Structure 1
Amino acid sequence: MPLHVPPAPAPALRSVLAALGSPTAVREARTPSLRTAQGPVSPQLPLPVHVLDRITAAGTSPTRLAGWRFLIHCGDRAVAAADTMLTPDGWAFSHFFEGPYVASTERALRHAETTLTAYQPRLLSVPELYMLTLWLHADCTDDGAEGHLAPTDLLVPLAPAPPGITAHRRHRAADLLPVLTHRLTPAPLLGSPA
């Protein structure tokens, strides 16, 4: 079933296109693959990036929209990504980057397209664990900026995943959140030996 990719805000897309058209922005980016791309590059697959700041005892947590990420394609593959952020003046280009999360995101999206259920793809960052997941949101009518992490939503940890969490394995949010809660809960302090 095809994924229902939400449309990015037009100013976010325009800011990425302007950055791609700027020799200075591309040349100064720490993305050798973008600087050496053979052929035209284009931003594709805009994904809202949500941040999970905390996990509640009930296992659900509010997320907040942190930006939009575009995979930058050259030919048939992603060579980099571009992030945008919300500023007081609206959506603005933040930075280009490359690395394992670009290929991992592309792989997870291809795999998600083979599901029988329709999903809206998003990215979910868990900063305390240095973890990024593909969030397959079940409500395809949400605009991408809104919506809560539902227990039946799927989370696919991207590589590199934190130790003990398998990358590219689908988890229901209701199943993965308790694991993350356990990982984020500090161990009790033990008394000094007597």
Structure 2
Amino acid sequence: MPLNIPPAPAAAERSLSAALQSTTVRSPHPIYLNRGALRPVLPLSVHRLTPVPDPTGAALSRLTGWRFLLESGGRAVGAAETMLTPDGWAFSHFGEGPYIASTERAVRRAEQLPGTYQPRLLSIPELYMLTLWLHSDPTAEPGAGSPLPQDILVPLAPAPPGIAGDLPVRADTLLPVLAGRLTITAPTG
């Protein structure tokens, strides 16, 4: 079934458009020198997983931005991210690396899954990990909510050691593994 990809907020799109047209925004790679050839596609809300679950053990996340893949010549060549600030949406940064291709693969595979999902990204910076989060409520507000047990998480490659990249896993299976890795114990002695 197709994925229900909600549009990014208009202000986030405007901040990205301004960054692509700007000559003062720094780019990490020569590919961005011809910014006029780049087309933002696949807007995904980015949520950060809170390292400590709530007292009931449920995973919590918060919206931190929107990430767009940047396409040139029909293929994704980079990414751009906007962030939520007290004044609204602002351009954050351009990006490149293995998560670009991994995101594309994960989305293509998700389109083959039974059911309809709303794709999002779930970031776990403490583990240097990013997942495609397939929210089981395809009509939910894309900036709200936390992972539900029946949601599907697809760790993007490269994933941390011991976690298979590019394989869909139910949230109620993967989140306890991640919570165990995020638990920091106080030193004794």
TM-score of the aligned structures, taking structure 1 as reference length = 0.89
Question: Is this contact kept in 1: 2:119–2:134, CA < 8 A?
Answer: yes
Match of 2:150 in 1: 152
Gapped regions of structure 2 (runs ≥ 5): none
Give 1:70-149 correspondences, 5 Å limit. Answer: 70-149=68-147
Distance 1:92 1:186, change over 3 A: closer
Deviation at 1:47, TM superposition (A): 0.4
Match of 1:24 in 2: 24
Distance 1:58 1:99, change over 3 A: same
Question: Is this contact kept in 1: 2:51–2:183, CA < 8 A?
Answer: no
Q: Secondary structure at the match of 2:31?
A: helix
> Root-mean-square deviation (CA), in Å?
1.9
Question: Is this contact kept in 1: 2:66–2:82, CA < 8 A?
Answer: yes
Aligned partner letter, 2:94: F
Question: Is this contact kept in 2: 1:50–1:63, CA < 8 A?
Answer: yes
Q: How many residues align?
A: 188
Deviation at 1:183, TM superposition (A): 1.7
Distance 1:17 1:36, change over 3 A: closer
Deviations along 1:3-47, whole A, 9 cap, x unmatched?
11111100100111111122332xx3002333367x721111110
Q: Is the radius of gyration larger for structure 1 or structure 2?
A: 1
Match of 1:41 among 38, 47, 52: 38
Gapped regions of structure 1 (runs ≥ 5): none
Deviation at 1:187, TM superposition (A): 6.1
Misfit runs of 4+, over 6 Å: none
**In 1, distance between residues paired with 2:176 and 2:187?**
21
Deviations along 1:44-102, whole A, 9 cap, x unmatched?
11100000022426542211000000111112211111110112221111111111111
Identical residues among aligned pairs (%): 59
TM-score of the aligned structures, taking structure 2 as reference length = 0.91
